[in-house]
């Protein structure tokens, strides 16, 4: 390794400028994206908007706020709208700025705030989402109740709902997400759902959940029409006449959970995702096309066996662009309305967002890889002439040396092929012996991808002298519906076999030290290392972050309703089946030292899971250490907390499996 270069460290992760998904000017000449920078000493970040010419010319900063996000270019090119919390804003508001600079202006002040921005085609109005109390009629009333709730001495949560909190926040204050529209000329705002009895789906509302007809007269929504909304409910597509409030459900008899509507530019069609939730909780969905004048629906991409997201129409309304995850990568694809399969436009890495120019000739996108954080690229609509259009992190990466990454296929459970990613230390020498570190992904219906992860960064892990392995075990996403369902009702068995097969494969390469095997994981990955502690003792240590430990007490999770389908039963209906899948059932076999990490505000995997596991290890006489963050949720998001997380992570595994090479004996 050259003296001028060094391995990547956690401080570097927080020095990286984090680039968001782009919006593109109508002429395709300039992309705009949010750029977040962090200050470790201040323990906070700031987000500004930057402009990136698609010909690769020098980028420039557009805004100087500290919380500017969700840039959205107007169809006429005159404005970039964004959400920001500035000056006296108590909640984020909609701001406008001209692309050539000047001062941003607040379009309107809404007591309930703004997110999920989407321009209406005439550029005279912009739609956004706001959480409101539906029984109140005016913004003044919204502000008054918000103030009363904030200043109240009693902070109790009262509920009779099945699902009353989500990830890290409560859903007991009676608010619901409505779609608003703001007039660009006057700043007047209107709740487009007031009095309709409708609201967007409650779970993480975003601009993906609604759309506005090109003529501005109709709103298409993702709505949960059940008497009590739930995460596993089948949702519907409802259209609302903006002038009259008249509503119509397009999917009442579909039999699917339907979501994410998108109008075609000519207004003839709506496309959306349809999920067969009766068949499987983890259904990856299919695309449905609705012809508005005939009221006819049909399936698009009839042979496609992958999930799709972020759909955007080409200007001719004959082609859809979309993101598809496939075998550990997420690329950009296009699909003609009569095509059985899509065609790749831009290969992943991991593409998480893209934008089309108004004439459909240019695309801007963000892409990360295991070897690089998100960066911006521009290309022609057919995928040719791709070029990088930003270099904000070039100087930082010139100072560090990264490890190489390989994509391999091994024989996993039942002899079936399993994909693994391997990241090597920067100074890797196959003639020496190295420790192995499993980084086991969560989900379980997620995947290790060729993308950059700031919280579980394989390059940082490798930089401390570990060969890092990520296994896309049975049940991982991006390999088709059948693969997703292979672990249903039998958590742990196949995933464990796949991880063990990867360990055996790596040992056969002769550069892995069998005395320095480590397994780590978060969320479902944390579940896996707890499960492994009851099934093997060949690993020197485990790290369990936010891990599911006891499927009985996990009834405290915000998502407990999925147990009946994913585990195959609730524990009172089939105790033996649930216990077989629960790590706590194997506590008498625990032997391996474990670092247990958790955040207090984690409602997906409640923090008591960590305390149960830690206390059990101590009661069993197994070495354990607890790292507990009272101000974090399922993820460690604050810079100084992240630095501590990495320090504890490496200090712990160093006790049992020090990093770096050893000579072969």
pLDDT digits (tens, 9 = 90+) for 331-365: 999 999 999 999 999 999 999 999 999 999 999 99
Domain assignment of residue 9, yes or no:
no
Please tell me the predicted confidence (pLDDT) of residue 280: 85
- Dist. CA 576–CA 573, nearest whole Å: 9
Phi, psi of 85 (to 5 degrees): -115, 105
pTM summary value: 0.95
- Dist. CA 67–CA 88, nearest whole Å: 13
Please tell me the predicted confidence (pLDDT) of residue 87: 84
For residue 2, what pLDDT band results from cuts at 50, 70 and 90? low
Domain assignment of residue 625, yes or no:
yes
- The whole-number average pLDDT for the span 425-446 is 97
Task: Report DSSP state, residue 293.
Answer: T
For residue 4, what pLDDT band results from cuts at 50, 70 and 90? low
- The whole-number average pLDDT for the span 370-389 is 96
Domain assignment of residue 433, yes or no:
yes
> Is 60 exceeded by the pLDDT of residue 445?
yes
User: Who contacts 332 (Cβ-Cβ below 8 Å, separation ≥6)?
Assistant: 321, 322, 323, 344, 345, 346, 351, 354, 363, 365, 383
- The whole-number average pLDDT for the span 20-45 is 97
Domain assignment of residue 477, yes or no:
yes
What is the CATH classification number for the domain harbouring 450? 3.40.50.1820
Please tell me the predicted confidence (pLDDT) of residue 665: 57
Domain assignment of residue 288, yes or no:
no
> Is 70 exceeded by the pLDDT of residue 130?
yes
Q: Nearest 5°: CA angle at 256, between 250 and 258?
A: 55
Domain assignment of residue 470, yes or no:
yes
For residue 151, what pLDDT band results from cuts at 50, 70 and 90? very high
For residue 664, what pLDDT band results from cuts at 50, 70 and 90? low
- Provide the number of structural domains found in the chain: 1
- Dist. CA 518–CA 652, nearest whole Å: 11
The parent domain of residue 566 ranges over: 399-659
Domain assignment of residue 548, yes or no:
yes
Convert the pLDDT of each residue in 235-285 to its tens digit.
999 999 999 999 999 999 999 999 999 999 999 999 999 999 988 889 999
Domain assignment of residue 637, yes or no:
yes
**176 contacts 131 by C-beta, under 8 angstroms:** yes
Please tell me the predicted confidence (pLDDT) of residue 281: 84
């Amino acid at each position: 390794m050259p003296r001028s270069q060094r391995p990547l460290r956690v401080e570097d992760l927080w020095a990286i400028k984090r680039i968001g998904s782009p919006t593109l000017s109508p002429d395709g000449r300039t992309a705009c994206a949010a750029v977040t920078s962090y200050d470790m000493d201040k323990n906070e970040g700031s987000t500004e908007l930057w402009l990136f010419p698609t010909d690769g010319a020098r980028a420039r900063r557009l805004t100087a706020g500290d919380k500017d996000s969700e840039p959205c270019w107007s169809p006429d090119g005159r404005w970039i709208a964004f959400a920001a919390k500035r000056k006296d804003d108590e909640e984020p508001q909609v701001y406008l700025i001209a692309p050539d600079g000047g001062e941003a202006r607040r379009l309107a002040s809404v007591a309930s705030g703004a997110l999920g921005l989407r321009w209406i085609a005439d550029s005279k109005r912009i739609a956004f989402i706001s959480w409101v109390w539906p029984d109140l009629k005016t913004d003044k009333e919204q502000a008054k109740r918000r103030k009363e709730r904030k200043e109240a001495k009693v902070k109790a949560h009262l509920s009779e709902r099945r699902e009353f909190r989500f990830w890290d926040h409560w859903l007991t204050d009676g608010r619901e997400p409505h779609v608003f529209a703001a007039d660009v000329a006057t700043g007047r705002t209107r709740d487009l759902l007031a009095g309709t009895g409708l609201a967007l789906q409650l779970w993480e509302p975003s601009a993906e959940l609604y759309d506005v007809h090109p003529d501005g007269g109709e709103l298409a929504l993702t709505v949960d029409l059940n008497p009590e909304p739930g995460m596993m409910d089948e949702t519907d597509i409802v259209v609302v006449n903006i002038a009259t409030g008249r509503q119509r459900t397009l999917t009442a008899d579909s039999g699917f959970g339907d979501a994410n509507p998108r109008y075609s530019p000519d207004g003839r069609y709506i496309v959306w995702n349809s999920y067969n939730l009766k068949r499987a909780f983890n259904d990856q969905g299919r695309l449905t096309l609705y012809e508005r004048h005939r009221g006819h629906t049909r399936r698009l991409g009839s042979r496609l066996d992958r999930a799709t997201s972020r759909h955007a129409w080409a200007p001719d309304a004959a082609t859809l662009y979309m993101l598809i995850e496939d075998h550990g990568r997420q690329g950009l694809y296009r699909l003609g309305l009569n095509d059985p399969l899509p065609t790749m436009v831009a290969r992943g890495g991991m593409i998480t967002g893209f934008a089309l120019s108004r004439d459909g000739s240019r695309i801007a996108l963000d892409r990360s890889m295991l070897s690089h954080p998100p960066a911006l690229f521009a290309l022609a609509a057919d995928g040719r002439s791709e070029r990088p259009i930003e270099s904000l992190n070039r100087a930082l990466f010139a100072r560090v040396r990264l490890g190489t990454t390989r994509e391999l296929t091994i024989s996993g459970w039942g002899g079936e092929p399993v994909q693994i990613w391997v990241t090597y230390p920067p100074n890797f020498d196959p003639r020496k012996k190295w420790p192995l570190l499993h980084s086991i992904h969560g989900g379980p219906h997620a995947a290790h991808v060729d993308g950059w992860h700031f919280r579980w960064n394989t390059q940082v892990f490798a930089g401390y002298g570990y060969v890092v392995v990520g296994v896309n075990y049975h049940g991982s996403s991006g390999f088709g519906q059948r693969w997703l369902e292979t672990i249903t009702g039998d958590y742990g068995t196949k995933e464990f076999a796949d991880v063990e097969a990867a360990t055996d494969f790596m040992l056969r390469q002769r550069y892995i030290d069998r005395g320095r095997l480590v397994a780590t994981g978060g969320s479902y990955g944390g579940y896996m290392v707890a499960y492994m502690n009851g099934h093997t003792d060949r690993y020197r240590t485990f790290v369990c972050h936010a891990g599911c430990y006891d499927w009985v007490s996990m009834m405290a999770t915000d998502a407990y309703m999925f147990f009946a389908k994913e585990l195959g039963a609730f524990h009172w209906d089939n105790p033996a089946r649930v216990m077989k899948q629960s790590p706590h059932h194997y506590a008498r076999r625990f032997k391996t030292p474990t670092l247990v990490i958790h955040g207090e505000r984690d409602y997906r995997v409640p923090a008591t899971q960590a305390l149960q596991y830690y206390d059990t290890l101590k009661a069993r006489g197994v070495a354990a250490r607890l790292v507990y963050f009272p101000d974090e949720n399922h993820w460690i998001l604050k810079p100084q907390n992240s630095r501590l997380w990495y320090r504890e992570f490496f200090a712990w595994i160093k006790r049992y499996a020090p990093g770096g090479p050893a000579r072969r004996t």
